[in-house]
Amino acid sequence: MKERDSNLKKEEKNPLKNLDEWEENILKRYPSSDITNKPKETFRNYNDAQVKENVKEFYRLNHKHQTYDFVTQKREDYLKFDKKEMPIWQAFDFLNQLVDDSDPDTDMDQLQHLLQTSEAIRKDNHPDWMILTGLMHDMGKVLCLFGEPQWAVVGDTFPVGCAYSKKIVYSDFFKDNSDYNNPKFNSKYGVYDKGCGLRNINMSWGHDEYIYQMLKNHLPEEGLYMLRYHSFYAWHREGEYNYFLDDHDRKMLPWVHLFNPYDLYSKSPTPPMVEELKPYYEALIKKYLPETLKF
């Protein structure tokens, strides 16, 4: 698997100018009014002509390469957490190497973007563990710094090992996926059982699963669902894959819904004052997390 990744051309690994292009596409699909009570059809009017070609190429590569075997290999590679170990604030410095030089409208680094999310949650008086969830939710993007292609770091997540929902964005691209015609993987339930629960489903590989696995022993279950499924739009926005849910998933879904607006709509051009906020977040990190994170 590593050999296949290394044989990819530069444009096959990183078709996006920056990771934010994927999130910008999500905002077109789910505008801020999408969290009001207005009918979806009134505002979901984006079309292919509005989508950048490199964003479409990103989805094509994502849907082609995210196979069941690919996910299994990435889990084996990364869930040993033997790549790096750092104090958490140093980990933010590491994440900040993902600088977006192509965007002239922002000087903000990754930590400042995460602080915007966590500060919006804090302003609305949500529990402190949810504030910390907001701060940590994109830490898994360090996968890019370990050489992973963009389509194995970000992107709408989806189950692998079973039939793909038609409501996954650009679902037609799954026809290039080797699992698409594999009878082991292309039935409704695939390798899973009806009602088995999302915790027993392998999701496409990326920053969501990685940060969930990193923090799964340290945050409440509600926060862990926010981390693991915040990019699973086919489920929490489109209502797909309900046949896999158990009662626990249904109980957790409102928490994922609660988190989603902070993930998508909390960015602003005004950077937070990191040094002023740092004492609060250092205390919050100390309350819930170990001194160092293993990557």
In tens, the pLDDT along 58-100 reads 999 999 999 999 999 999 999 999 999 999 999 999 999 986 4
Least confident of 14-23, 43-52, 129-138: 43-52
Could you tell me the two tokens for 44?
């979901």
Quick check: 249 pLDDT over 60?
yes
Residue 125: count other Cβ atoms within 10 Å of its Cβ: 7
The CA angle 295-286-116, to the nearest 5 degrees, is: 75
Model confidence band, residue 105 (pLDDT cutoffs 50, 70, 90): very low
pLDDT at 250: 98
Could you tell me the two tokens for 73?
């290999």
Quick check: 18 pLDDT over 90?
no
Q: What is the mean pLDDT of the chain?
A: 88
pLDDT at 99: 63
pLDDT at 1: 45
Quick check: 125 pLDDT over 70?
yes
Mean pLDDT across 194-200: 98
